[in-house]
């Protein structure tokens, strides 16, 4: 079609020019970028591989990610008998689980220890933030990994991306949402946040914004100015004409893909359940206060609401990039800034999941990319330490009130069985109903096994390790 033809003010029965029609079809559909919308295409071969597990009741996952890596010595694996330079400044307090003590600055989590279990023997061999984050959030080492290797499409998929690829939701609700920060600093983009080699159609939604602020909103779920839900059906009719016009532009296969994406966008925009989940002002002031009027607290409240709306995997990054990377002044930083909002928010999340009956079908997993060095350094901080760190697990069949694994007297290495990030991933996929021998396709269309770890069975059985 000529440029002159496109400029014709030809009015259709629905009242818009052809140029306007094309703008509706090819722009970011009413505020939703098509490249960010998850594909609806199912993968029949993978569904076949999943087999009988597909009949299980779907479970969900909330990852409370302590980006930068929290110190296990000063939280959930305190070394009371170690020298002062190992022991640190904090005192332990008793929990509701006999014999289990945690940091004095986690009093709410101490009162709820009977609702979760802690693994003290997570371990891997790397001390770099980016590569370790990839390992923890995908269950595999970063392909071709080197110091500060940024994210690429050669990476392994995040948990939500794999779930979207294998079990597409098909109901207008994304499988995965990451909030409230995107892990990026300068030229460095953290791997493990994306779908990697599965491609951008399977990337989780990235929500960037502080839910604690009064003006918090999610533009991706908002209509463009002048458009409201009552007019969407009219725009939907427009899209039908747009799709017919695409025949004139050729590329029939691409046209069909775009049509599917458009239908998905309409579904997202009209999903009141999902859009309402972002409206934190629907919660009472008392509930918001209980989580804490902090970025951490309100992000965890939003995580609960999104799980209720049908999101299957929710990653809440606690703080900005490397928030817990305390190389100096670790004790005042933990005491005054980091631990209190975490303690309040996670305790409220566990309370709500329990009272609302969500804990049975939702696993809460809290961990960082590694631990911290046993010895406090000259700047009164602790440095990176991959050989030993902790993870907190609750819900979705996890037997609560356990302390699994044990580190040595200075918290340097596990003295019981060490569990790798591959094992953490196996546990996640077990909860999500994905068999561990499931295969996906890499960028060269080669079959690769999704996971090579082993489920941390003691989390579910209570057997000693």
In order of 69, 154, 196, the CA distances from 129 in angstroms are 8, 18, 18
What global pTM score does this model have? 0.82
Vertex 356: Cα angle to 354 and 362 (nearest 5) = 65
Place of tokens 């991933």: 425
Long-range Cβ contact pairs of 258-264 (< 8 A, separation 24 or more): 258/25, 258/34, 260/39, 260/40, 260/41, 261/29, 261/34, 261/37, 261/39, 262/25, 262/29, 262/34, 263/40, 264/37, 264/38, 264/40, 264/172
62 near 349, Cβ under 8 Å?
A: yes
pLDDT, the chain, mean: 84
45-218+285-461 maps to which CATH number?
A: 3.40.720.10
- Residue 265: what pLDDT? 55
- Residue 29: what pLDDT? 30
Q: Parallel, antiparallel, or unpaired for β 176-179 and 313-317?
A: parallel
Domain definitions of the chain by residue range: 1-30+223-277, 45-218+285-461
* Token couple for 301: 């409240």
- Residue 10: what pLDDT? 37
For the chain, 465 residues long, give each residue's pLDDT as a single digit of tens. Answer: 444 443 333 333 333 333 332 332 323 332 333 333 333 333 433 333 333 343 457 799 999 999 999 999 999 999 999 999 999 999 999 999 999 999 999 999 999 999 999 999 999 999 999 999 999 999 999 999 999 999 999 999 999 999 999 998 877 789 999 999 999 999 999 999 999 999 999 999 999 999 999 989 887 565 556 655 555 556 556 656 555 555 554 444 444 444 555 555 555 555 577 889 999 999 999 999 999 999 999 999 999 999 999 999 999 999 888 899 999 999 999 999 999 999 999 999 999 999 999 999 999 999 999 999 999 999 999 999 999 999 999 999 999 999 999 999 999 999 999 999 999 999 999 999 999 999 999 888 999 999 999 999 999 987 655
DSSP 140: S
Whole-number Å distance between alpha carbons of 372 and 72? 7
- Sequence-ordered strand ranges (E) for 127-195: 176-179, 184-185, 188-189
175 near 160, Cβ under 8 Å?
A: yes
Whole-number Å distance between alpha carbons of 147 and 131? 7
Instruction: Indicate the burial class of 29 (C-beta count within 10 angstroms; 0-12, 13-18, 19 or more).
Output: buried
- Residue 116: what pLDDT? 98
Q: Is the dihedral of CA 144, 148, 153, 157 positive or negative?
A: positive
Backbone angles phi, psi at 267, to 5 degrees: -60, -40
């Amino acid at each position: 079609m000529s440029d002159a033809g496109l400029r014709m003010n030809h009015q259709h029965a629905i009242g818009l020019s052809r140029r306007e029609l094309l703008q509706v079809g090819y722009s970011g559909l009413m505020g939703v970028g098509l490249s960010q919308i998850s594909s609806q295409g199912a993968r029949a071969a993978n569904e076949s591989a999943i087999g009988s597990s597909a009949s299980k009741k779907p479970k969900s996952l909330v990852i409370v990610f302590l980006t930068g890596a929290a110190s296990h010595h000063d939280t959930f694996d305190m070394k009371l008998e170690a020298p002062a330079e190992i022991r640190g400044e904090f005192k332990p307090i008793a929990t509701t689980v006999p014999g289990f003590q945690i940091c004095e600055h986690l009093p709410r989590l101490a009162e709820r220890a009977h609702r979760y279990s802690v693994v003290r023997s997570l371990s891997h061999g790397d001390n770099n933030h980016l590569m370790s984050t990839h390992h923890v959030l995908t269950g595999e080492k970063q392909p071709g990994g080197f110091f500060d290797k940024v994210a690429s499409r050669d990476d392994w998929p995040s948990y939500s991306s794999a779930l979207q690829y294998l079990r597409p939701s098909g109901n207008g609700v994304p499988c995965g949402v990451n909030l409230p920060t995107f892990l990026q600093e300068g030229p460095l983009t953290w791997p493990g946040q994306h779908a990697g080699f599965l491609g951008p159609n399977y990337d989780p939604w990235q929500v960037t914004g502080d839910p604690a602020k009064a003006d918090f909103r999610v533009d991706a779920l908002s209509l463009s100015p002048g458009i409201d839900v009552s007019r969407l059906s009219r725009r939907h009719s427009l899209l039908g004409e747009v799709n017919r016009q695409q025949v004139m532009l050729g590329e029939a296969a691409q046209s069909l893909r775009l049509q599917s994406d458009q239908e998905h966008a309409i579904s997202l925009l009209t999903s009141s359940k999902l859009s309402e989940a972002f409206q934190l002002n629907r919660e009472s002031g008392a509930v918001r206060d209980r989580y804490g009027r902090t970025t951490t607290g309100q992000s965890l409240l939003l995580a609960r609401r999104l799980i209720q709306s049908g999101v299957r995997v929710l990653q809440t990054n606690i703080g900005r990039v490397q928030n817990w990377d305390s190389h100096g002044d670790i004790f005042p930083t933990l005491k005054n800034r980091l631990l209190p909002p975490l303690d309040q928010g996670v305790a409220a999340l566990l309370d709500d999941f329990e009272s609302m009956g969500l804990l049975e079908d939702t696993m809460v997993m809290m961990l960082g990319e590694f631990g911290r060095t046993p010895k406090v350094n000259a700047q009164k901080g602790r440095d990176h330490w991959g050989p030993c760190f902790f993870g907190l697990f609750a819900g979705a069949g996890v037997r609560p009130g356990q302390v699994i694994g044990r580190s040595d007297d200075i918290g340097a290495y596990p003295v019981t069985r060490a569990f790798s990030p591959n094992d953490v991933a196996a546990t996640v996929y077990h909860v999500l109903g994905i068999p561990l021998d499931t295969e996906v396709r890499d960028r060269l269309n080669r079959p690769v096994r999704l996971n090579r770890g082993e489920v941390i069975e003691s989390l579910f059985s209570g057997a000693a390790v």
